[in-house]
Amino acid sequence: MSETPPLIERAAAGDLDELLPLVRAYRVFYKQQPNEMRERDFVARHLRDGTSVIYVARTGGRAAGFTQLFKTYSTVHLAPAWILEDLFVDPGARRSGVAAALLERALAHARESGACGMFLETAHDNVAAQRVYKRAGWTREGRFYKYNAPV
Protein backbone atom coordinates (compact mmCIF):
# COMPACT_ATOMS: atom_id res chain seq x y z
CA MET A 1 0.00 0.00 0.00
CA SER A 2 1.42 3.40 -0.94
CA GLU A 3 1.59 6.20 1.58
CA THR A 4 -0.24 9.44 0.94
CA PRO A 5 2.23 12.08 -0.25
CA PRO A 6 2.80 14.99 2.12
CA LEU A 7 0.60 18.04 1.72
CA ILE A 8 2.82 21.09 1.07
CA GLU A 9 1.27 24.49 1.75
CA ARG A 10 2.61 28.01 2.07
CA ALA A 11 2.64 28.88 5.75
CA ALA A 12 0.55 31.75 7.09
CA ALA A 13 0.35 33.43 10.48
CA GLY A 14 -2.12 30.79 11.67
CA ASP A 15 0.54 28.10 11.20
CA LEU A 16 2.97 29.66 13.68
CA ASP A 17 2.28 27.37 16.64
CA GLU A 18 2.57 24.31 14.41
CA LEU A 19 5.88 25.52 12.93
CA LEU A 20 7.63 26.48 16.16
CA PRO A 21 8.46 22.94 17.39
CA LEU A 22 10.04 22.22 13.99
CA VAL A 23 12.01 25.48 14.05
CA ARG A 24 13.22 24.71 17.56
CA ALA A 25 14.29 21.17 16.62
CA TYR A 26 16.07 22.54 13.53
CA ARG A 27 18.02 25.04 15.64
CA VAL A 28 18.93 22.36 18.20
CA PHE A 29 20.16 20.16 15.33
CA TYR A 30 22.57 23.02 14.51
CA LYS A 31 23.64 23.22 18.17
CA GLN A 32 21.70 26.36 19.09
CA GLN A 33 20.04 26.84 22.47
CA PRO A 34 16.23 26.90 22.27
CA ASN A 35 14.73 30.32 22.82
CA GLU A 36 10.95 30.19 22.51
CA MET A 37 10.42 33.94 22.60
CA ARG A 38 13.04 34.77 19.94
CA GLU A 39 12.01 31.84 17.73
CA ARG A 40 8.36 32.94 17.88
CA ASP A 41 9.25 36.56 17.14
CA PHE A 42 11.56 35.63 14.25
CA VAL A 43 9.10 33.34 12.46
CA ALA A 44 6.05 35.52 13.20
CA ARG A 45 7.81 38.60 11.83
CA HIS A 46 8.73 36.87 8.57
CA LEU A 47 5.21 35.52 8.15
CA ARG A 48 3.66 38.90 8.94
CA ASP A 49 6.03 41.02 6.82
CA GLY A 50 6.41 38.59 3.92
CA THR A 51 10.21 38.84 4.13
CA SER A 52 10.53 35.11 3.59
CA VAL A 53 8.45 32.32 2.13
CA ILE A 54 7.82 29.33 4.37
CA TYR A 55 6.31 26.07 3.19
CA VAL A 56 5.06 23.51 5.68
CA ALA A 57 4.71 19.80 4.95
CA ARG A 58 1.92 17.90 6.66
CA THR A 59 1.50 14.16 6.97
CA GLY A 60 -1.37 12.59 8.82
CA GLY A 61 -2.75 16.06 9.56
CA ARG A 62 0.31 17.28 11.45
CA ALA A 63 3.32 19.41 10.53
CA ALA A 64 6.19 17.12 9.57
CA GLY A 65 8.68 19.55 8.03
CA PHE A 66 9.29 23.03 6.69
CA THR A 67 11.47 25.02 4.36
CA GLN A 68 12.15 28.75 4.46
CA LEU A 69 13.20 30.74 1.40
CA PHE A 70 14.68 34.23 1.17
CA LYS A 71 14.75 36.27 -2.01
CA THR A 72 17.97 37.79 -3.25
CA TYR A 73 19.10 39.21 -6.58
CA SER A 74 21.76 38.43 -9.15
CA THR A 75 23.35 41.37 -10.90
CA VAL A 76 25.17 38.95 -13.20
CA HIS A 77 21.87 37.46 -14.40
CA LEU A 78 19.77 40.60 -13.83
CA ALA A 79 17.13 38.50 -12.12
CA PRO A 80 15.93 37.40 -8.70
CA ALA A 81 17.28 34.26 -7.07
CA TRP A 82 16.25 32.37 -3.95
CA ILE A 83 18.20 31.13 -0.96
CA LEU A 84 16.85 27.93 0.52
CA GLU A 85 17.86 28.92 4.03
CA ASP A 86 16.18 26.19 6.05
CA LEU A 87 14.93 22.68 5.39
CA PHE A 88 13.97 20.44 8.28
CA VAL A 89 11.96 17.25 8.60
CA ASP A 90 10.82 15.85 11.94
CA PRO A 91 12.89 12.73 12.66
CA GLY A 92 9.74 10.60 12.82
CA ALA A 93 8.79 11.63 9.27
CA ARG A 94 12.17 11.18 7.62
CA ARG A 95 12.67 8.81 4.69
CA SER A 96 9.03 9.26 3.68
CA GLY A 97 9.41 11.80 0.88
CA VAL A 98 8.79 14.93 2.95
CA ALA A 99 12.18 16.52 2.21
CA ALA A 100 11.89 15.73 -1.51
CA ALA A 101 8.38 17.23 -1.62
CA LEU A 102 9.57 20.39 0.14
CA LEU A 103 12.51 20.72 -2.27
CA GLU A 104 10.20 20.24 -5.24
CA ARG A 105 7.83 22.95 -3.96
CA ALA A 106 10.71 25.33 -3.28
CA LEU A 107 11.99 24.92 -6.83
CA ALA A 108 8.49 25.39 -8.23
CA HIS A 109 8.26 28.62 -6.22
CA ALA A 110 11.55 29.84 -7.71
CA ARG A 111 10.38 29.04 -11.24
CA GLU A 112 6.99 30.68 -10.67
CA SER A 113 8.71 33.87 -9.52
CA GLY A 114 10.97 34.07 -12.58
CA ALA A 115 14.14 33.40 -10.62
CA CYS A 116 17.44 32.62 -12.31
CA GLY A 117 18.33 30.07 -9.66
CA MET A 118 18.21 28.83 -6.10
CA PHE A 119 21.01 27.88 -3.76
CA LEU A 120 21.52 26.44 -0.31
CA GLU A 121 24.25 25.61 2.16
CA THR A 122 24.50 22.63 4.45
CA ALA A 123 27.01 21.43 6.99
CA HIS A 124 29.90 19.31 5.70
CA ASP A 125 28.88 16.49 8.01
CA ASN A 126 25.16 16.57 7.13
CA VAL A 127 25.55 13.64 4.76
CA ALA A 128 21.88 12.62 4.93
CA ALA A 129 20.77 16.04 3.65
CA GLN A 130 23.47 15.99 0.96
CA ARG A 131 22.06 12.68 -0.34
CA VAL A 132 18.56 14.20 -0.51
CA TYR A 133 19.83 17.21 -2.47
CA LYS A 134 21.79 15.04 -4.86
CA ARG A 135 18.79 12.75 -5.50
CA ALA A 136 16.70 15.86 -6.22
CA GLY A 137 19.18 16.94 -8.93
CA TRP A 138 21.05 19.64 -7.01
CA THR A 139 24.79 19.91 -7.72
CA ARG A 140 27.53 20.98 -5.36
CA GLU A 141 29.07 24.37 -6.11
CA GLY A 142 32.48 24.08 -7.65
CA ARG A 143 33.19 27.52 -9.12
CA PHE A 144 33.11 29.83 -6.11
CA TYR A 145 34.47 29.98 -2.58
CA LYS A 146 32.22 31.00 0.28
CA TYR A 147 33.62 33.41 2.86
CA ASN A 148 32.15 34.44 6.23
CA ALA A 149 32.91 37.73 7.95
CA PRO A 150 32.84 38.12 11.72
CA VAL A 151 30.17 40.59 12.75
Q: Provide the whole-model pTM.
A: 0.93
pLDDT of the residue at 4: 86
Query: Under CATH, to which class is 7-135 assigned?
Result: alpha beta
pLDDT at 30: 94
| pLDDT at residue number 2 | 46
- Residue-level pLDDT, tens digit, the chain, 151 residues: 347 899 999 999 999 999 999 999 999 999 999 999 999 999 999 999 999 999 999 999 999 999 999 999 999 999 999 999 999 999 999 999 999 999 999 999 999 999 999 999 999 999 999 999 999 999 999 888 889 999 9
Domain residue spans in the chain? 7-135
3-state secondary structure the chain: CCCCCCEEEECCHHHHHHHHHHHHHHHHHCCCCCCHHHHHHHHHHHHHHCCCEEEEEEECCEEEEEEEEEEEEECCCCEEEEEEEEEEECHHHCCCCHHHHHHHHHHHHHHHCCCCCEEECCCCCCHHHHHHHHHCCCCCCCCCCCCCCCC
Tell me the pLDDT tens digit for each residue of 85-98: 999 999 999 999 99
Q: What is the pLDDT of residue 135?
A: 94
Strands 79-89 and 118-120: parallel
